[in-house]
Structures are given as structure tokens and as C-alpha cells.
Amino acid sequence: ETGVTQTPRHLVMGMTNKKSLKCEQHLGHNAMYWYKQSAKKPLELMFVYNFKEQTENNSVPSRFSPECPNSSHLFLHLHTLQPEDSALYLCASSQPLDRVETEAFFGQGTRLTVV
């Protein structure tokens, strides 16, 4: 256990559905991240939140909508996804961004399949 919990672990959704991924960390961190990992591709950073403020949106399509209500919780709201959005979505947390010598703690990921 890394102290970062993601739910659900697996999700199958149709292209017209709306669903949300949840991430919760119990490490007292103030930075949280969403990553996308597709087959045979490097890990892609999607969003970064530092002290609940979004600091990075890495050109992610608007069908992905993040929400960070507090430093312990991070959501990724999904709507009208495409089959190519099928991937492993990983949440991570770390110390605040100004601490460059820090490590990220990852959740186990949500395996998303869009049909």
C-alpha cells in the first residue's frame, strides 16, 4: 500500500456515459497528479494540482475534467470518451511542487475501457 487509493480499479463505459474516477491520499501531501498510461506509450502527465490549485493542464481534451476539492482528494470526470481513451489512469501525490527533491506516490490505477 502506497497511501494513495484509486477507485474503481476497473471501469468499462460506453462512449455516451458519464463516469468519475476517484483518488484519495492519506500522506499529507499537497500536490496531486493524473497520468495516463496507454499500451506501448510513455506515461503522460495530464493534470497537476498544488494546494488544490490546478498548475498544469497538459493539452488534455475537455472530455476529461479534473476536480480537486481538497488536498486529499482528486477526481477525474469523464464524458463522451472515445475508444482511444482506453488506458490505465494513474493518480499520484507528492510533497508541494517547490520541493524538487521529492518522490511521487502512485495509486494502483484505474483500468478504463471505452466501448
Partner 1 sequence: SQQGEEDPQALSIQEGENATMNCSYKTSINNLQWYRQNSGRGLVHLILIRSNEREKHSGRLRVTLDTSKKSSSLLITASRAADTASYFCATPSSKTSYDKVIFGPGTSLSVIP
Whichever of 71 and 94 has its CB closer to partner 1, that residue is 94
Place of cell 510533497: 95
Contact flags string 45-64 toward partner 1, x per CB under 8 A: x--x-x----xx--------
Point out which span in 14-22, 63-71, 74-82, 107-115 binds partner 1 (CB under 8 A): 107-115
Whichever of 84 and 103 has its CB closer to partner 1, that residue is 103
Point out which span in 12-20, 63-71, 76-84, 101-109 binds partner 1 (CB under 8 A): 101-109
| Of positions 43, 61, 77, 113, contacts partner 1 by CB under 8 A | 43
DSSP labels for 39-106?
Answer: TTS--EEEEEEETTEEEEE-S--TTEEEEEEETTEEEEEEES--GGG-EEEEEEEES-TT--S---EE
Contact call for residues 99 and 76 (beta carbons, < 8 A):
no
| CA separation for the pair 49, 55 (Å, rounded) | 6
Among positions 3-32, residues that touch partner 1 (CB under 8 A) are 4, 6, 31
